[in-house]
Amino acid sequence: MSDSRDLWMVGDVLDAMSGPNPPDYVLKIVHEIQTWLATAVSDESEFDPADIISGSGDRQGAADLEYLFTQLEWAGMHADLVPVLKESGKHEDAVILSIGPILLDEGLRMMVDHAALFASGTCRKIWLVSDTWIIGDVLSYIPHIKALLDRGIQMHFLLVTPWGYSEIPWTREK
């Protein structure tokens, strides 16, 4: 903030609005997902959608979700990584991956299940990382989100594309 208590600079206002930055390990996860998504998008030019209809489509390689999950296993040192790691409830932080074929609805369900069931009492902060945002899915989970917030669990929704990411707030309050 500027030296004067009454004078706010534009940067001060933007910093106050932006809230805390994700921890470095979350930013590294986002970067690896962006790389995976960018490769999947570039592979689309070589992919014939008619193969899906005929059943002959083979989307291995960069679009392989197992490959991405293997690349992200290191994050288990910092947070519970769902659905990648089999052990849950070890960390206060959790990263829920709703990427590729894992639909947003599934990601929201995994988030609620992890915080309320599998890591109840341990989980304090959740980073839901997704490549989609669907209002209908989010609206159906509003009561669950409110219940987790009432338990004191901080939740962050990061929408990731091959070219960037943005945090989408769950509520009006930061």
Q: How far apart are CA 93 and CA 14, in angstroms?
A: 26
The structure tokens listed for 34 are 């962006």
Give this prediction's pTM: 0.78
| Residues 66-106 pLDDT 10s | 889 999 999 999 999 999 877 777 899 999 999 988 999 99
User: How far is the C-alpha of 154 from the C-alpha of 174, rounded, in Å?
Assistant: 10
- If we measure between CA atoms, which residue out of 25, 164, 148, 34 comes closest to residue 99? 34
Neighbours of 135 (CB within 10 A): 7
Are 167 and 20 a contacting pair, CB within 8 Å? no
HEC string for the chain: CCCCCCCCCHHHHHHHHHCCCCCHHHHHHHHHHHHHHHHHHHHHCCCCCHHHHHCCCCCCHHHCHHHHHHHHHHHHHCCEEECCCCCCCCCCEEEEEECCCCCHHHHHHHHHHHHHHHCCCCCCEEEEEECCCCHHHHHHCHHHHHHHHHCCCEEEEEEEECCEEEEECCCCCC
Q: pLDDT by residue (tens digit) across 29-72?
A: 999 999 999 988 886 555 454 443 334 444 444 458 888 999 99
